[in-house]
Structure 1
Amino acid sequence: MHQTKEVLLLEMMLSFIFALGFTLIHYFSKYMRFIKAIPRSRFLSAAGGVAVAYVFIHLLPDLSKHQQVLEEAARPGLFRFLENHAYIIALLGLALFYGLEKMVKNSKSSQNDKTSPGVFWIHITSFFLYNSLIGYLLVREEFESLWGMFFYFLALAVHFVTNDHSLRKDHQDIYDHYGRWGLTAAILIGWTVGAFVKLEEVYISLLTAFLAGGIVLNVLKEELPEERKSSFAAFFLGVVGYTALLLV
């Protein structure tokens, strides 16, 4: 975007409104009674399709740009081993969240379908950082236009509904008492840090790549298990509909 003073102010105001929107979604998703786990709500399947479309149509293609940033930063030192491996950071994000998911499942199987307090706090801390990163990038990601920021909000808003539903299912009441509030605060904390702290572009590239991998895992882990009885039609409609919006 053309970075005039007026545009920068408008971006900041709009990003704050969207950050507030994210927090409201975390708060009110508890009351979305139409969302069911089994058979899986068509809304959740469509939301998964939207998030996957955003990753594959926007975030992953953007990795080529971030790869160039990493190549320019590659020199003897910290970033040398990343010279040609921006996608490894995305893979690392996916692997980390897969490991967390396995940790939660193992804890539930040994605790009569309840997670231990230690596992809960590890899991919530990881999503606290995840949400903080999303809030930060809401300010610092270089969107091509204000519409780009809106599509970022739209994709991750429905993704938050899915995450919130999944975390409540995993941790039950303790999530509503503690986790939900922490994740709500994380978005505003990330936005606030982004408003006052500008990281170098190479770090933005690393964070964006990591986020892409995390989103892919967090969406697919909810859609793929057979017992969820997910709606392929709703998932496909989410993919096609959001892709069409991005292309237009």
Structure 2
Amino acid sequence: MLGLSFIFAIGFVLIHLFSKRLKLLKVLPRSRFLSVAGGISVAYVFLHLLPELSIFQDELQGELENSGLQFLENHIYVIAMAGLVIFYALEHSVKTSKKKNKHADQPKAATGVFWVHIVTFALYNSVISYLLVREEYGDPLGMFLFFIAMGVHFITNDKGLRATHQEEYDRYGRWLLAAAILVGWATGAFADVHEWIISVLTAFLAGGVILNVLKEELPEERESSLVSFCVGLTSYSILLLFL
């Protein structure tokens, strides 16, 4: 399914380049679509990615013996927690930087913080695109469900990053994130890696998705919709459980 994965990777690229033109995202201060997207992403993490980690952990038994990574055989969820903490630290640094510039006409994070933020999300995008190729899908539908979950997640991330970094995101950020998608796909398509790397990347992704969804849903100023979030979560959960 390499050809299909490339088509979906191009779809991810187009989302980053053109998501700001979606009419659904022009509803202020908050589009219900983003809450639906958050629900879909969370459903995918809890019903697919996290259960998959337990499978990875069983498969890793004995694989990393006598190596510095042996602890992963029994503690793969630590990586998921680390992913969550890393993105929490990023958001905290961005908010701290913006507070220091609060007297500006349009407060925004310092240039250095912007680049750290964007580069980290570029790595995050590469992981998602890499797993688009390397995940073991039972059929094309499984890959399509992954594409939908991560595609709407990218739309949510774009909205948040654009609001945080303003014109700098459109000028530099979205292009770097789009390029990272292609880099991740190419790595997955042409590089042969050990199973434990895939398990680590999957765990990191799970933690990152959870934090990035919650940071968009919880702040009061987002005026997110609980009903829309639950609709997205429930409907996508049904798809994952019965398809």
Do they superpose with TM above 0.5? yes
Give the equivalent residue in structure 2 for 1:3: none
Q: Does 1:58 align with 2:48?
A: yes
- For 2:77, give the aligned amino acid: Y
Superposed, which structure 2 residues align to 1:167-182 within 5 Å? 167-182=161-176
Code of the residue aligned with 1:31 in structure 2: it is: R
Give the letter aligned to residue 82 of structure 1. Answer: L
SS at match of 2:68: coil
1:153 to 2:143 alignment: no
Counterpart of 2:151, as a letter, is A
How far the C-alpha of 1:36 sits from its partner, in A, is: 4.9
- Asked whether 1:241 is paired with 2:235, we answer yes
Query: 1:222 corresponds to which residue?
Result: 216
Secondary structure of 1:71's aligned partner: coil
SS of the residue corresponding to residue 34 of structure 1 reads helix
Please give the TM-score of this superposition, normalised by the length of structure 1.
0.93
RMSD: 1.2
* Residue aligned with 1:175, SS: helix
Q: Distance in 2 between matches of 1:108 and 1:66?
A: 40
Determine whether 1:29 maps to 2:19. Answer: yes
For structure 2, list consecutive stretches of 5 or more residues without a partner in the other structure: none
* Conserved? CA contact 1:38–1:228, under 8 Å: no
Aligned residues: 238
Structure 2 residue 159 is the aligned partner of structure 1 residue 165: yes
2:129 to 124, 127, 135: 135
| C-alpha displacement of 1:191 | 0.4
**Following superposition of structure 1 onto structure 2, how do residues 81-120 of structure 1 map, counting pairs within 5 Å?**
81-112=71-102, 113-120=107-114
**What is the rounded CA distance, in whole Å, between the counterparts of 1:74 and 1:196 in structure 2?**
24
The 3-state SS of whatever aligns with 2:25 is: coil
Are the aligned partners of 1:163 and 1:218 in contact in 2 as well (CA < 8 Å)? yes
**Aligned residue number for residue 8 of structure 1:** none
Given that 1:22 and 1:187 are in contact with CA atoms closer than 8 Å, whether structure 2 keeps it comes out as yes
Query: Helix, strand or coil for the counterpart of 2:59?
Result: helix
Given that residues 25 and 157 in structure 1 are in contact (C-alpha distance below 8 angstroms), is that contact kept between their aligned partners in structure 2? yes
Q: Which runs of 5+ in 1 are unaligned?
A: 1-10
